[in-house]
């Protein structure tokens, strides 16, 4: 494949890439950064691609990681040979800031197929990698012969190494790389900031609705480990993997036969979101606990949550009644703090509480910890009206991703498009300088943590006051400190 004369080309050690060009933006898609993690490479750290003099067609998206659709069926465009990335660059990029988007999807779905051109048109080189998901990306089991457990995160480490080594060929500055993502992507950002392997690979970080204070799976458990979200013993990773294998009737399998089991069969056994694993090698502890002990990156950090992040709760497979009962046992006064939402419907109040505990709490705890390490930290509260017809005021989970990438195209001239433009400008300015630019003259400039103990409010759809947010956060912090048994620290288990 040689491509048309007008097609942009980039020469790399792995081959010559042929991309596509439109409206001042060049796109190179489906670019491999690792060998296919299949057969003996399944459940092993990724292996870099080899040097080659081949010409590679990079005009189209590559396969996404194996996953199931909303109907429960495997997605046709998915393949285990999914470790590819997409790059969008301005035509005349020279030492441009680099932003690496990490997609969300609960570590069990999603892909790097985003509208990266909206960032490239603003002068950014945007990179979006795929990484392994579900049990194929995060697993520990006696039949899996690897000390590592977080293969999806190791994929992201290798993708960032690829960016460090090659992004200058696309006009990007390898000394100015910002990682950012929403939901599981935001959690991946938090985890990368605490992984020994991630040191020096990025220089700024944006975690949108990450959940660095949420319990993770554990390779081994000890008495001082934090409780799970219901106050019970933490879930063991081997038990989680065993349940998946039982659902696909893989009992009696050997290690070799498990390596030859189809990816589609494995993903059919998954339920709900996938959680990373505290394995003592790549993930030392929950990010919040790592940061509290000074084990996180000291780099500029921007983080926040949406006013109704709890809209995602039905996808998490956590029984709302059990969750509410755990809170009632701990502190029944939570019902007074969420009485307006409970008045709409019990499920609404429980979901709002869930969203605040999973995402809002994380943004507060981690931004405070980064500031204590001496790096500038900023936090926001996104409260922009969501889709019409919603029973709730505020921003549902993942709405910020839509605003950043899609609102300009699907809602031109709308308030959503205006918010998307403002968010992109703030995020890009943060990537350039480490300080986000002001979004709304009525709010004023961003104040770093330490100079302000308030949230940078983006919108006011839910009408919640700063005092009410503070009261809720106080209860969330109290339960978090109790659950985490603060005297317990990270320990290596391998």
Strand order from edge to edge, sheet including 20-22: 20-22, 25-32, 84-90, 125-129, 96-102, 172-182, 204-208, 301-306, 377-382, 456-458
> Domain range holding 188?
9-484
pLDDT, residue 456, reads: 94
pLDDT, residue 493, reads: 38
Phi, psi for residue 21 in degrees, rounded to 5: -140, 135
200-219: pLDDT as tens digits: 999 999 999 999 999 999 99
pLDDT, residue 492, reads: 38
48-70: pLDDT as tens digits: 999 999 999 999 999 999 998 87
| Band of residue 142 on the pLDDT scale cut at 50, 70, 90 | very high
**Number of domains making up the chain:** 1
Whether the predicted pLDDT of 99 surpasses 90: yes
Query: Residue 191 falls within a domain, yes or no?
Result: yes
**In Å, how far from its chain's centre is CA 296?**
17
Whether the predicted pLDDT of 94 surpasses 70: yes
The CATH number for 291's domain is: 3.40.50.1820
Q: What is the largest CA-CA distance in the chain?
A: 69
Identify which has the larger pLDDT, 84 or 6: 84
Query: Residue 458 falls within a domain, yes or no?
Result: yes
Identify which has the larger pLDDT, 478 or 438: 478
255-292: pLDDT as tens digits: 999 999 999 999 999 999 999 999 999 999 999 999 98
Query: Residue 205 falls within a domain, yes or no?
Result: yes
The pLDDT of 225-252, averaged and rounded, is 92
Query: Residue 2 falls within a domain, yes or no?
Result: no
pLDDT, residue 72, reads: 73
pLDDT, residue 1, reads: 56
Phi, psi for residue 112 in degrees, rounded to 5: -90, 15
Query: Residue 353 falls within a domain, yes or no?
Result: yes
pLDDT, residue 387, reads: 83
Looking at every residue in the chain, the average pLDDT score rounds to: 93
Of 227, 320, 216, nearest to 273 (Cα)? 216
Query: Residue 494 falls within a domain, yes or no?
Result: no
Query: Residue 489 falls within a domain, yes or no?
Result: no
Query: Residue 75 falls within a domain, yes or no?
Result: yes
pLDDT, residue 113, reads: 97
Total-model pTM: 0.95
Phi, psi for residue 168 in degrees, rounded to 5: -65, -25
Beta strands in 221-309 (DSSP E): 277-278, 301-306
pLDDT, residue 59, reads: 97
Cα–Cα distance, 213 to 228 (Å, whole number): 11
């Amino acid at each position: 494949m040689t491509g048309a004369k007008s097609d942009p080309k980039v020469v790399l050690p792995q081959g010559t890439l042929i991309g596509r060009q439109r409206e001042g933006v060049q796109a190179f898609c489906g670019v491999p950064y690792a060998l296919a993690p299949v057969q003996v490479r399944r459940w092993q750290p990724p292996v870099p691609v080899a040097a080659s003099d081949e010409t590679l067609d990079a005009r189209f998206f590559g396969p996404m990681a194996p996953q199931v659709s909303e109907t429960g069926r495997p997605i046709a465009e998915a393949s285990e040979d999914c470790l590819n990335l997409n790059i969008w660059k301005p035509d005349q990029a020279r030492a441009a800031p680099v932003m690496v988007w990490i997609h969300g999807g609960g570590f069990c779905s999603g892909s790097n197929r985003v509208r990266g051109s909206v960032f490239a048109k603003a002068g950014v080189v945007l990179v979006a990698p795929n990484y392994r998901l579900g049990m194929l990306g995060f697993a520990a089991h006696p039949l899996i012969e690897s000390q590592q457990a977080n293969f999806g995160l190791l994929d992201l480490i290798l993708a960032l190494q690829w960016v460090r080594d090659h992004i200058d060929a696309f006009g990007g500055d390898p000394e100015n790389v910002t990682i950012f993502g929403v939901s599981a992507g935001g959690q991946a950002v938090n985890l990368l900031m605490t992984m020994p392997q991630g040191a020096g690979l990025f220089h700024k970080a944006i975690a949108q609705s990450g959940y660095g204070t949420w319990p993770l799976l554990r390779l081994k458990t000890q008495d001082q480990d934090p409780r799970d979200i219901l106050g019970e013993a933490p879930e063991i990773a081997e038990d989680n993997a065993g349940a998946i294998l039982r659902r696909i009737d893989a009992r009696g399998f050997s290690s070799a036969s498990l390596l030859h089991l189809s990816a589609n069969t494995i993903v059919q056994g998954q339920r709900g979101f996938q959680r990373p694993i505290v394995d003592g090698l790549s993930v030392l502890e929950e990010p919040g606990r790592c940061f509290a002990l000074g084990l996180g990156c000291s780099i500029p950090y921007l983080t926040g949550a949406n006013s109704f992040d709890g809209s995602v709760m039905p996808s998490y497979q956590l029984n709302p009644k059990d969750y509410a009962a755990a809170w009632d046992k701990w502190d029944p006064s939570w019902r007074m703090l969420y009485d307006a939402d409970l008045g709409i419907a019990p499920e609404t109040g429980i979901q709002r509480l869930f969203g605040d505990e999973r995402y809002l709490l994380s943004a507060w705890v981690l931004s405070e910890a980064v500031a204590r390490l001496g790096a500038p930290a900023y936090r926001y509260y996104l409260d922009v009206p969501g889709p019409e017809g919603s029973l709730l005021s505020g921003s549902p989970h993942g709405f910020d991703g839509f605003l950043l990438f899609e609102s300009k195209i699907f809602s031109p001239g709308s308030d959503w498009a205006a918010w998307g433009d403002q968010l992109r400008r703030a995020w890009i300015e943060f990537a350039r300088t480490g300080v986000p630019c002001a979004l709304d003259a009525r709010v004023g400039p961003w104040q770093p943590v330490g100079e302000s103990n308030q949230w940078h409010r983006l919108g006011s759809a839910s009408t919640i006051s700063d005092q009410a947010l503070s009261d809720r956060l106080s209860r969330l912090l109290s339960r978090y400190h109790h659950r985490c048994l603060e005297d317990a620290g990270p320990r290596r288990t391998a």
